[in-house]
Structures are given as C-alpha cells and as structure tokens.
C-alpha cells in the first residue's frame, strides 16, 4: 500500500538546500550516493547545494528532482521539481500551466472573485467576478497583477476611481511582504525595475506599511467602513501557484463588492 508523502508545505522549508537535505535524508541516501546518481564525481556539489553556498541551475535542479523523487516517500519528480523551483525562484511558464490541466481547480463558477497566480503575482487564471470586480483588461493572463494596477491608462485604476489609492496601498504592502525573501532573485530585480517605471508605483513601494501577512491564509482590509478579506492557499500539484479568493467579511464589505461588480446583489 502506498504511503502518502508528507507535504513539504507543512515543513516550512524555504531554501533549495533545506529541501535537498530533508528529501535525501528521507530516502536514506548519503551525499555521495545522491551525487553519483546525478552524474557528479563526488559529494562536494551536494554539500555546497545543501548548505546554500551555490545557486543551482535549472538543469541541476531537474537532476536533483529526478533523483530525489519517490512517490511513496518524497513525491513524484514533478512535485519535487515544483518545490525546488519555488525555493530557487524559478517562475512557472505558460507551458507548465497548460501541463497542469485539470489539476488547477475550476474557479469560474465560484460566486465571488477568484484567481490563480504564481509567487511573483503573475496572473494565470481569473473568474468572471474578479475580471468584473477589478476591471481587468482583456489581455491579463501571464501578466503581473501589480503591473495591471499601475500601468499607464490602467483600466483597474479607472474602475475603482477614488477607491483605487486606498486599495493600491494595501496591495503593494501585501506584495512587498510576500516577496520579501525574493528581493535578491533575478526575476524580482527585473520586475521591480519595470514596476518603478510605472506612474505612482515608486511612492507606494517606498512608503508601503509593514503589515503582518502570509502567502497563505486569511487577510482582511478595511474599505470605506467595510471589511473585505482574501483567503489564499497553495496549489498542491505545484506550490508555485496560489489560489486566491476574495470574500466580504461583513455587510458593508459586501455592499462595496456588489457596487464594484464583484458579487451579485
């Protein structure tokens, strides 16, 4: 009988080195055994990876995933690869999204705004309520959510009107907190450069309040006397993706969402 693997999510492992070390230990492998399985001469490469002294390439991570995978103990190669890519800051591609297929939950029929984004806040799925409730442009899949809020002639800014600034302040603070440990990663530097070129973003980024938050779980925001909350959870098939849902936490919050088109009256 297959023994289900303990999800890495519950272990709060953040670096490639931590993940490799834990999975190797679960499989009962010595460093030299893993190195030889990957085609390396000795254990020194594994040692440097496990202590995070080097940043493994994508190719190296794929080798590690193949040799650390065991569906009954550590997970499939695809699952291990996803965790390693998440820790290394390798964003998913459109092809990888397509490969997930029906393992991405159907959010279209939810009665409130919902989305599937990756850890860099790039949008991969939205339902009608989010598209209407946030005034998203027609071409938004694969684009960064913060960019959609701040771009020149933003349809989101026009949609929210006077409420845009209040919501944008909260959103940028949340984004800054979510990505705090990724500021040295290459993709983040490129994204931040692009965002800083957009109208008003610098002001919001430099003055973003420190708000306790988490990539997963429940957060709430007061909006004109009402409270609107968001619940986010990782996609188990690939934890680089976050499934997010926006819900009113009280009647005033519900009224605001109805007004903006995010809910039926």
CA distance 223 to 248: 10
Least confident of 4-18, 79-93, 203-217, 242-256: 4-18
CA distance 63 to 45: 12
The DSSP letter of residue 239 is T
Say if CB 107 and CB 230 are below 8 A apart: no
Confidence band of 161 (pLDDT split at 50, 70, 90): very high
**Torsions phi, psi of 190, nearest 5?**
-65, -45
pLDDT at 263: 77
Burial 122-137 (b: 16+ CB within 10 A, else e): bbbbbbebbbbbbbbe
Burial 85-114 (b: 16+ CB within 10 A, else e): bbbbbbbbeeebbeebeeebeebeebebbb
Tell me the per-residue pLDDT of 98-144, one tens digit each, with 9 for 90 and over: 999 999 999 999 999 999 999 999 999 999 999 999 999 999 999 99
pLDDT at 233: 93
Confidence band of 209 (pLDDT split at 50, 70, 90): low
Rg (CA), the chain: 20
> Residue 186: helix, strand or coil by DSSP?
helix
CA distance 31 to 25: 9
pTM reported for the whole predicted model: 0.89
Tell me the angle at which helices 58-68 and 16-26 cross, rounded to the nearest 10 degrees. Answer: 20
Confidence band of 1 (pLDDT split at 50, 70, 90): very low
What torsion do the CA atoms of 39, 42, 47, 49 make, to the nearest 10 degrees? -30
pLDDT at 2: 42
pLDDT at 264: 66
Tell me the per-residue pLDDT of 173-201, one tens digit each, with 9 for 90 and over: 999 999 998 999 999 999 999 999 999 99
pLDDT at 253: 79
The DSSP letter of residue 5 is P
CA-to-CA separations, 120 to 24, 159, 215, in angstroms, rounded: 28, 24, 11
> Residue 215: helix, strand or coil by DSSP?
coil
Q: How many CA atoms lie within 13 A of 85 on its CB side?
A: 23
pLDDT at 255: 85
Burial class (CB in 10 A: 0-12, 13-18, 19+), 47: middle
Domains within the chain, CATH numbers bracketed: 8-88 (1.10.260.40), 94-260 (3.30.450)
């Amino acid at each position: 009988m297959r023994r289900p693997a303990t999800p890495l999510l519950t272990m709060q492992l953040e670096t490639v080195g931590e993940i490799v070390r834990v999975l190797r230990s679960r499989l009962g492998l010595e460093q030299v055994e893993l190195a030889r399985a990957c085609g390396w001469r000795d254990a020194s490469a594994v040692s440097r990876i496990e202590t995070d002294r080097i940043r493994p390439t994508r190719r190296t991570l794929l080798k590690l995933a193949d040799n650390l995978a065991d569906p009954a103990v550590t997970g499939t190669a695809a699952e291990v690869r996803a965790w390693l890519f998440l820790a290394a800051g390798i964003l998913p591609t459109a092809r990888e999204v397509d490969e997930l297929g029906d393992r991405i939950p159907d959010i279209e029929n939810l009665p409130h705004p919902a989305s599937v984004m990756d850890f860099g806040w790039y949008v991969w799925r939205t339902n009608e309520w989010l598209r209407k409730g946030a005034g998203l442009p027609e071409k938004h899949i694969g684009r960064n959510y913060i960019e959609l809020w701040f771009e020149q002639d933003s349809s989101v800014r026009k949609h929210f009107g006077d409420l845009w600034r209040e919501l944008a302040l909260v959103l940028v603070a949340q984004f800054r907190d979510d990505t705090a440990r990724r500021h040295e990663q290459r993709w983040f530097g490129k994204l931040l450069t692009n965002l800083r070129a957009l109208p008003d973003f610098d002001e919001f980024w430099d003055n973003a309040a420190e708000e306790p938050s988490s990539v997963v779980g429940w957060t709430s925001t007061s909006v004109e006397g009402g409270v609107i909350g968001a619940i986010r959870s990782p996609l188990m098939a690939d934890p680089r993706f976050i499934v997010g849902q926006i819900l009113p936490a009280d009647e005033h919050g519900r009224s605001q969402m109805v007004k903006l088109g995010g809910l039926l009256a």
